[in-house]
Amino acid sequence: MRVLFIGDIVGEPGRHAIGELLPKIKKREGIDFTIANAENVAGGSGVTPQLAEEIFDMGVDALTTGDHVWKRREIVDKLRSDNRILRPANYPANVPGSGSAVIKSKSGVEVGIINILGRVFMQPVECPFRVVTEEIDKIKKKTRIIVVDIHAEATSEKIALGWYLDGIVSALIGTHTHVQTADEKILPKGTAFIADAGMTGPFDSVIGRRKEEILTRFITQMPARFEVAEDDIQLHGVIIDVDEKTGRANSIKRVQEKLKADG
Ligand SMILES: [Fe+2]
Ligand SMILES: [Fe+2]
């Protein structure tokens, strides 16, 4: 089966890109299942239940999140009630929601998804290596197809987790930096890997925010309000071809699709 993983969707421009480009990509590439990172969907930070539904209606099957998951508190009930949207698994025990899920594709194939946070240059959380193993144990009886979103800053931590999970999951896909890396590969035991899938949103920006305020902040070190940028909208992600019998990946390829100015 062919799985499309879409990098962090940023604000209204990101949602617009999904609405316009996703149906075309799905058709052209024969996509069976689509996962997207939704931590920046609402005004660039967090995600609301309404906006999550909007993205599901556009054809995304499952949503992961990251360190911005709690920015919009309305999402808490949705995280409890809808297993199609995940929060990172390595938050303290008993926080609302789940860090893993098994979701049926339209053709009836069950896809396991795990969402995990890194710890290097990020807020302290439980060990991603230990917690990801616990989550795999929870879902591996139901499906061999497992896609992990490692939401982390440091490429070293993501690469290390790739070696750790090689042959155990179908794909380990990085998110959070909003910059797509060119290191996509199939690891020796059959796990697809990329350190970061990239961003879906405005690229005439600094990782999705208006560049003017970001520059002011860097230059003056004074606080500034960061607004979502508007121009050069693109959808970034990866397409993974997974062998349904073994759960191993056959291929991974990067996607960078531009929204036409009139689109
Ligand atoms: Fe993000
Ligand atoms: Fe993040």
How many domains is the chain partitioned into structurally?
1
Domain-located, residue 214: no
Banded model confidence at residue 260, pLDDT cuts 50, 70, 90: confident
Average per-residue pLDDT for the chain: 97
Domain-located, residue 208: no
What residues are labeled active site?
Answer: 68
Domain-located, residue 218: no
191: left (phi over 0), alpha (psi -120 to 50) or beta: beta
Domain-located, residue 223: no
Cα 98 to the center of its chain, rounded Å: 15
Q: Say yes or no to pLDDT of 263 above 70.
A: no
Nearest ligand by distance to the CA of 9:
1
Q: 38 alpha carbon to ligand 1 midpoint, in Å?
A: 8
Domain-located, residue 58: yes
Q: 177 alpha carbon to ligand 2 midpoint, in Å?
A: 7
The 10s digit of each residue's pLDDT in 30-72 is: 999 999 999 999 999 999 999 999 999 999 999 999 999 999 9
Which structural domain, as residue segments, surrounds residue 155?
2-202+231-258
Q: 153 alpha carbon to ligand 2 midpoint, in Å?
A: 8
Domain-located, residue 216: no
pLDDT at 20: 98
CATH assignment of the domain containing 157: 3.60.21.10
The 10s digit of each residue's pLDDT in 166-224 is: 999 999 999 999 999 999 999 999 999 999 999 999 999 999 999 999 999 999 999 98
Nearest ligand by distance to the CA of 153:
2
Q: 230 alpha carbon to ligand 1 midpoint, in Å?
A: 16
CB proximity list for 220: less than 8 A, separation 6 or greater: none
Query: Is the pTM for the entire model greater than 0.95?
Result: yes
Nearest ligand by distance to the CA of 200:
1
Domain-located, residue 71: yes
Q: 178 alpha carbon to ligand 2 midpoint, in Å?
A: 8
Mean pLDDT to the nearest integer, 4-8? 98
The 10s digit of each residue's pLDDT in 79-92 is: 999 999 999 999 99
Banded model confidence at residue 262, pLDDT cuts 50, 70, 90: low
